[in-house]
């Protein structure tokens, strides 16, 4: 028995026409569905195109917002910087004000100390002038008592003559006496009118002594002498040495002659009339 006789034929059996028709219909239906689906898909696929057209508008808005945000950030940074600068300026101003206040307090303290020192010196000067004036007043009013054999005494006022003046002092005193009654004119040095320092300068010029022109400098000429130890021919001054505002000539006996002021002219007065501050001796 042959083995081939049992092998089945590999040929596919023929399909019937009806089966083919059914399959063709199914296939057509499937393709139709696919076509419809494809068309629907194509219709749906067109929708994103419409959405894609709106993207430029969204992008522009975002750019504007970003720009505004950048501007706001820049403005905030500028504000912070300005505030920082103001704070720094305020701190600097406060520091300078503190330094100025400290300096002002220091100067005020120094000024107060100087004022107190000046007040002490002035008080001491007033006390000294007061003591000197008391001495001058006592000297001018002192009388000489002479006892008599009867036990009585007589009083003679201190002389105002220039009998004790000699030499140059006598010549100076003689000159100023000759000017009594002449006018006082500021800046005048004679012969018809004088101011205080002009009279003194011209008087001492008669004996060959050249004095400074103004009373401030005349008050420091020669050497200072005590008011309790005056001699005829000494220069009296009012005010402090170096800044005197008036000068005159002491003629002895508690008297002086000077060009006083425009209303009185060149006059003779006792020291008690207007006690001087000091005196200098140039003879």
* Phi, psi at 2, each rounded to 5°: -80, 140
Model pLDDT, residue 16? 53
Distance in angstroms (rounded) separating the CA atoms of residues 277 and 136: 11
Q: Give the β-pairing of 223-225 and 278-281.
A: antiparallel
Superfamily the domain 157-281 falls into: endopeptidase domain like (from Nostoc punctiforme) (3.90.1720.10)
Q: Classify residue 267 by burial, with Cβ atoms within 10 Å: 0-12, 13-18, 19+.
A: middle
Distance in angstroms (rounded) separating the CA atoms of residues 281 and 225: 7
Model pLDDT, residue 70? 84
Contact residues for 193 (Cβ-Cβ < 8 A; gap 6+):
182, 183, 184, 185
Copy the structure tokens of residue 167: 């030499």
Model pLDDT, residue 22? 46
Copy the structure tokens of residue 202: 């011209």
What is the pTM (predicted TM-score) of this model?
A: 0.46
Q: Which residues of the chain, if any, have pLDDT below 70?
A: 1-59, 121-164
């Amino acid at each position: 028995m042959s083995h081939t006789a049992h092998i089945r034929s590999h040929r596919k059996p023929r399909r019937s026409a009806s089966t083919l028709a059914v399959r063709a219909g199914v296939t057509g239906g499937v393709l139709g569905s696919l076509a419809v689906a494809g068309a629907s898909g194509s219709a749906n696929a067109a929708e994103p195109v419409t959405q894609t057209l709106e993207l430029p508008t969204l992008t522009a808005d975002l750019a504007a917002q970003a720009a505004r945000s950048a501007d706001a950030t820049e403005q905030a940074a500028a504000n912070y910087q300005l505030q920082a600068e103001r704070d720094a300026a305020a701190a600097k101003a406060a520091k300078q004000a503190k330094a100025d206040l400290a300096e002002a307090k220091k100067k005020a303290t120094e000024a107060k100390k100087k004022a107190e020192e000046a007040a002490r010196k002035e008080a001491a000067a007033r006390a000294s002038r007061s003591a000197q004036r008391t001495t001058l007043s006592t000297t001018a009013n002192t009388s000489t008592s002479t006892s008599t054999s009867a036990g009585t005494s007589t009083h003679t006022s201190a002389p105002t003559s220039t009998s004790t003046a000699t030499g140059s002092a006598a010549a100076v005193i003689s000159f100023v006496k000759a000017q009594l009654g002449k006018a006082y004119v500021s800046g005048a040095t004679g012969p018809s009118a004088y101011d205080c320092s002009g009279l003194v300068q011209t008087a001492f010029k008669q004996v060959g002594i050249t004095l400074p022109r103004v009373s401030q400098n005349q008050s420091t000429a020669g050497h200072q002498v005590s008011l309790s130890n005056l001699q005829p021919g000494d220069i009296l001054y009012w005010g402090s040495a170096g800044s005197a505002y008036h000068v005159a000539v002491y003629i002895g006996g508690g008297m002086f002659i000077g060009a006083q002021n425009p209303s009185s002219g060149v006059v003779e007065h006792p020291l008690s009339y207007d006690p001087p501050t000091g005196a200098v001796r140039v003879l």
